[in-house]
Amino acid sequence: MRGFAGLLLLLLAPRLADAQTRRLQTAASDKAALLDMKALADTSNCHSWNGGDGPCPLDSWEPATEPCGVGWDDFLKGWVGVICVEEGGAVVSVALPDTGIGGLILPALGRLLELRYLNLDQNPVRGSVDALSDLLELRSIVLRGSAVFGGMPALPNLGGNYQLPGRRSEAFTGLVWL
């Protein structure tokens, strides 16, 4: 039996290493996308969640820290507004409702390939929603009160779960938080 277990381990080891490498590459790519979003964002009117008086959530997004590090599973810890599938894993949710974050940030968010939930409700975000067309895992998006334009990309998991300026899908039932 030992011989079989050893052989099995030899056969599986490269796949496990490949999976770990992909995980690290995804984490690095997601961090770069979020830092690019921060650099592109207009934060001149940024404040804490839902119109509060606290600091801008993007102030917590620092190059020296990881979005999927401390607080990876809590919107209010670590990188505020970011949730990951696991510590050191992929970003699956960005929620920054009514924080005053504006600008042309959708192209950077469109690089978060594992993103499932996006809530930028009541923010002066602008640009085309076509920038999100590669987000095949996206299940819910809220961009009401923004200056985005264009038709909603045909994404397999989104169905009718979106809210855009002046448009609301009939099937939308709200965000499902992780």
List, for residues 17-61, the tens digit of each pLDDT value.
454 555 556 789 999 999 999 999 999 999 987 667 889 999 999
Q: What is the pLDDT of residue 145?
A: 86
CATH number of the structural domain 21-168: 3.80.10.10
Q: What is the pLDDT of residue 81?
A: 95
User: Is it the case that residue 157 has pLDDT exceeding 70?
Assistant: yes
The region of weakest confidence among 74-88, 101-115, 139-153 is 139-153
Give the span between the Cα atoms of 44 and 31, in whole angstroms: 22
Of the chain, the percentage scoring pLDDT greater than 90 comes to: 46
Q: What is the pLDDT of residue 93?
A: 95
Mean pLDDT for the stretch of residues 93-110: 95
Q: What is the pLDDT of residue 153?
A: 73
- Tell me the pTM: 0.79
User: Is it the case that residue 146 has pLDDT exceeding 50?
Assistant: yes
Q: What is the pLDDT of residue 115?
A: 95
Q: What is the pLDDT of residue 171?
A: 37
- CB 69 within 8 Å of CB 88: yes
Which residue has 């045909």 as its token pair? 154
How many CA within 13 A on the CB side of residue 152? 23
How many CA within 13 A on the CB side of residue 154? 0
User: Is it the case that residue 105 has pLDDT exceeding 90?
Assistant: yes
